[in-house]
Amino acid sequence: MSNISGGTQRPRRSQQTRLTEKLAPETKPRQPAMRQPKGRSQRLIEEEARRSAPPKTRGTPTGKRPSAPRRKTTRKPRKGRKKRSSTFLWLLVMLISLTCTAGLLLLAAPQMLGMELTGLPTLAFVNGSIIRYDAERIANFNEAVALVNTDRIFPGVTIDGINVGGMTRADAESALGQGGVDNSSVNLHVVADAYTYDITGYDVPLYRNVSEMAAVAYAAGRGNTTALRGSGRTPLSERVATIRAMQQSPVTLQTQITYDRDAVRKIAENIAADVTCTPVNATVESFDPATKQFTFNSDISGAYLDANSVYQTLTGVLDMGNYTASLRLQSDTVLADVTKSQIVGKFGRISTYTTKTTSNSNRNTNIDLSCQAINGYKVAPGDTFSFNQATGQRTAAKGYKEATAISGGQSVPEVGGGVCQTSSTLFNAVARANLEIVYRSPHAWPSSYVQKGMDATVNWPNLDFKFKNDTEWPIYIVANYSKQKCTVEIYGMLLPDGVSIDLESTVTRTIDPPSDTKYVQNTKLAAGTQETTIKKRTGYVVETYQIWYQNGKEVDRKLLCTSTYKAYQETVEYN
């Protein structure tokens, strides 16, 4: 490059060039520097400099010295010098590490080998660290730990003037005695309603709370003072200071006369149980079917005495030291839910039903006997009445006569025939009293004394009529036969005012019998004779409803039962 200011240009020589110049026997004289003419362009200056430079050669001819190459502008790194510096630093670090290790070993070796160097502190390794071992501080610490962790009462504690410091709890209790006191002074007189109680020291023995005070003495000095933050523990130094301060300011405790509170609570519970009684509701005592009158048991009020209230009263006087108090306890009256005055006017006849009988004396006798069997019958709440069970088997020994009854689709004579009219009359009365019908069957064909769907046939022992008393009060049956009339009444708790129940039946289907006659040979008949054994009868399907009335107006209608009467083909026996 040329010097624009007009100075000479000296190309910089590299180290290799300088070395070549020293070794060469002959050197070529340097070219004089060219001055830059004024007013010449930079391009011309660079061209002249290029031409004046010595030619570049790739090799040197034999016997001639190579010309000096142009120096490069960059220098190569001095690798040898840097390597020597790194080695020196590494050696220095190693020397320092060895010196420190030797010093530590010199200090720790006596402790590790069980030796002690005069004039040097005792050291110890703890969790990888070296700490100084202070025997005096450790001895003080162990002494403090032993003081705090003792199982004895700390010095400076007295109970009833007896110094119990240094004693165990058991020793302190022995020093204070058994804690017994004179129990003959206890005589509480308690009156609760009609009950009287005398509570003596035998029931509630007195004693001094020696064991409790020994526990309090043992706890003195062991409670928390300033707790460590977040730990809930008291620093050891504060605990030691508290214990030592007790010797300067002693803790003085006094026993007290107390009693067994569990025994008092049991007495209170017994008194409350004796006095407390459940009220008794008024009930129906009896019913006279002849006079149709009820008699009632009067209601009885109950009483309630709170056991906790009794306990508080007893402990209140005992805590004050009043062992001869006279106490009167009053229970609370508990009225019965149902009083006699509430029910006297609510019992009477719930329903009644009457059917007309025939002039057949035997049949009427059977109806009369069955009415007598169920008259005055009591059905308790939840019980189920059975007609067969109430009358028993209808036998001649009981006075029952032979009368017409239905069997196998035929009218046949049978002992007790006709009692189905009593059971059917009972069914109508029960349904109108709104009692639950449990079991009921219709006859083979409709009866003449009740409407279709309102009969209830019976036959010993399986075919029965049953109903259940699903009320909360007893039900009584009044049944009688008089002047060809069978009447059944139901007595008990009346239906609500203005409410009455009636029955209504509807034929929903008619079943026509076969039009031809069925002939059956019977060799028992006289030759050439015949007899109609089964009459031609039309069948029916009937629905029976309970109709509810309020002051004579229908308010509800419920399906009670469905009855099916078979159709019968006329049957004639001949011989």
Q: Which of 76-85, 182-191, 471-480 has the lowest mean pLDDT?
A: 76-85
Higher-confidence position of 177 and 2: 177
pLDDT at 430 over 80: yes
What's the mean pLDDT when you consider all of the chain? 84
Select from 221, 240, 268 the last residue of a domain: 268
376 shares a domain with 284: no
Split at pLDDT 50, 70, 90, the class of 411 is confident
Would the pLDDT of 2 be above 80?
Answer: no
Give a yes or no: residue 103 inside a domain: no
Q: Is the pLDDT of residue 98 over 70?
A: yes
Could you tell me if 484 and 562 lie in one domain? yes
Q: What pLDDT does residue 48 have?
A: 66
Question: Which of 325, 342, 359 is at the close of a domain?
Answer: 342
State percent of the chain over pLDDT 90: 55
Q: Are residues 418 and 545 in the same domain?
A: yes
Please indicate, yes or no, if residue 8 is contained in any of the structural domains: no
User: What local confidence, expressed as pLDDT, does residue 100 receive?
Assistant: 81
- For residues 469 and 539, membership in a common domain is answered with yes
Q: Tell me which residue of 455, 449, 574 sits closest to 505, measured CA to CA.
A: 455
Q: Grade residue 56 by pLDDT with cuts at 50, 70 and 90.
A: low
| pLDDT number for residue 20 | 43
Q: What is the DSSP letter of 344?
A: G
- Answer with the residue of higher pLDDT: 26 or 540: 540
Task: Report the range out of 14-18, 25-29, 53-57, 411-415 with the highest average pLDDT.
Answer: 411-415
Of 97 and 51, the structure prediction assigns the larger pLDDT to 97
Is residue 165 assigned to a domain?
A: yes
Q: Hey, which residues does 222 pair with through a beta bridge?
A: none
At 318-351, the pLDDT tens digits run 999 899 999 999 999 999 999 999 999 999 999 9
Q: How many helices (H) and strands (E) does the chain have?
A: 13, 29
307 and 415 in one domain? Answer: no
Among residues 420, 450, 436, which one has the least CA distance to residue 385? 436
426: confidence class by pLDDT, cuts 50, 70, 90: very high
Query: Among 387, 385, 351, which Cα is nearest to 370's?
Result: 387
Is residue 294 within 8 Å of residue 343, measured between CB atoms?
no
Please tell me which residue, 251 or 538, carries the higher pLDDT value. 538
Tell me, yes or no, whether 393 lies in a domain: yes
For residue 140, is it within any domain? Answer: no
**Choice between 143 and 528, residue whose per-residue pLDDT is larger:** 528
Same domain, 173 and 191: yes
Q: Are 319 and 351 found together in one domain? A: no
How many domains would you assign to the chain? Answer: 4
Q: What is the pLDDT of residue 127?
A: 61
519 strand-pairing partners? 572
CB 506 within 8 A of CB 452: no
| Residue burial 284-320, b: 16+ Cβ < 10 Å; e: rest | beebebeeeebebeebeebbebebeebbebbbeebee
Same-domain check for residues 308 and 400: no
Residue 80's H or E segment, with its range, is: helix 79-113
Is the pTM value of this prediction over 0.85?
A: no
Q: Based on the domain organization, do 374 and 494 belong to the same domain?
A: yes
Is residue 30 domain-resident? yes
Does 289 map to a domain? yes
- Ranges of H-type helices in 167-220: 169-176, 210-219
Residues 373-382 pLDDT 10s? 999 999 999 9
β-strand 436-439 against 466-468: which pairing, if any?
antiparallel
Range of the domain at 238: 157-268
Which one is predicted more confidently, 3 or 217? 217
Asked if the structure places residue 252 within a domain, the reply is: yes
Q: Same domain, yes or no, for 402 and 485?
A: yes
Q: Record the tokens describing residue 338, joined without a space.
A: 């149902």
| Helical pair 261-275 and 307-319, crossing angle rounded to 10 deg | 140
Least confident of 102-106, 129-133, 168-172, 546-550: 129-133
Same domain, 408 and 540: yes
251 and 335 belong to one structural domain: no
The domain boundary residue, chosen from 37, 52, 67:
52
pLDDT of residue 22: 46
